[in-house]
Amino acid sequence: MKQITAILDGFGSTWLLLVRSLSYAGTLPRQYRRFFEQCYLIGYTTLPIVAILSFFIGSVLALQAGYSMQNFGTQQFIGSLVGLSMARELGPVMVAILLAGRVGSAITAELASMKVYQEIDALVTMNIPPARMLVLPRLAATLVMVPVLAIIADLVGWFGGAIVAKYTAMISIEPEAYFAVLRRYTHFKDVLNGLIKAELFGFVVVLVCCNIGLNTRGGPREIGASVTRAVVVSLILILVLDYFVTQVLMPLQ
């Protein structure tokens, strides 16, 4: 029973935090410094790990696909498989998972320690709503940076696939042929579909991580516990949302 109320509590406070943050949207222009700082943290510093991971995801996709497709002699379609999988599914999901691990955990740790050391209380008594100063710039920066990260993940993944396709003996497909197939079967709407997913997942991850951080109570141990919870909840939400969002977006194609 306690767990159920805790989950409902989490849902409620997350929605409340979202509404509160959005109600301060008008203050964003004068918070441009915080916004750009968050863009730097959320976008730029996450870029290397996104690039490395998507490169290898694209590569392994091509490798596995080449291995199973050679039985049917359909290796020439590897480009379409890598292209669609990266754009529609793996690009956005990988970006969201990395965001949870790298940015979400840092956000929760920072806000939780601010809460535990009463900095949040100090803000409240100074009549500076934490939702305005701490949450809004992060959410706005996420909305701007996540699509950029997802596009880079797609591109790097496609290139990873192309390199494997050329240099693996059992596949041996020239990049020209690989990209020709990729372009024939991967359309703009597929990429857009992936970007919508990435945007949604990224937003949910950052919102949930902010909320868990701000609702931390106790001491240093609870900061650690909050970070763990934030990452676990984020990962669950990403994968559960992924299924339902995919189902909703499918008929719209």
Partner 1 sequence: MTCSSTRSPFSQVETPAVGVSIEKLSKDFGRLKVLKEVTFAVEPGEIFVLMGPSGSGKSVLLKHIVGLELPTSGRVTVDGKDAAAEETREQVRMALVFQSGALFNSLSVYDNLALYPREHRVANEAGIREKVMHALQILSLEGTARKSPSELSGGMKKRVAIARALVMEPQLMLYDEPTSELDPVMSATISEIIATVKEDYHVTTIVVSHERELAFGIADRVGILMGGALISLGPAAELRSPQDPRVAEFLNPKIDLQHPRFKNLET
Q: Which two tokens mark 242?
A: 């992924």
Is residue 124 close enough to count as binding partner 1 by CB under 8 A?
yes
Residue 144 C-beta: closest distance to partner 1, Å: 22
Residue 132 C-beta: closest distance to partner 1, Å: 8
Q: Which of 23, 45, 118, 228 binds partner 1 (CB under 8 A)?
A: 118
CA dihedral for 164, 169, 174, 179, sign (positive or negative): negative
User: Which of left, alpha, beta for 173 (phi over 0: left; psi -120 to 50: alpha)?
Assistant: beta
Q: Which of 128, 170, 236, 250 binds partner 1 (CB under 8 A)?
A: 128
Q: Which of 3, 127, 247, 253 binds partner 1 (CB under 8 A)?
A: 127
Number of Cβ atoms within 10 Å of the Cβ of 157? 30
DSSP notation for 122-179: HHHHTT--HIIIIIHHHHHHHHHHHHHHHHHHHHHHHHHHHHHHHH-TTT---HHHHH
The amino acid at residue 100 is A
Is residue 9 close enough to count as binding partner 1 by CB under 8 A?
no
Residue list 133-172, contact with partner 1 (CB under 8 A)? 133
Residue list 68-97, contact with partner 1 (CB under 8 A)? none
Q: How far apart are CA 17 and CA 11, in angstroms?
A: 10
CA-wise closest residue to 87 among 175, 188, 180: 188
Q: Which of 23, 25, 117, 220 binds partner 1 (CB under 8 A)?
A: 117
Q: Which of 25, 122, 170, 232 binds partner 1 (CB under 8 A)?
A: 122
Residue 130 C-beta: closest distance to partner 1, Å: 12
| Residues at the contact surface with partner 1, assessed by CB under 8 A | 114, 117-119, 121-122, 124-128, 133
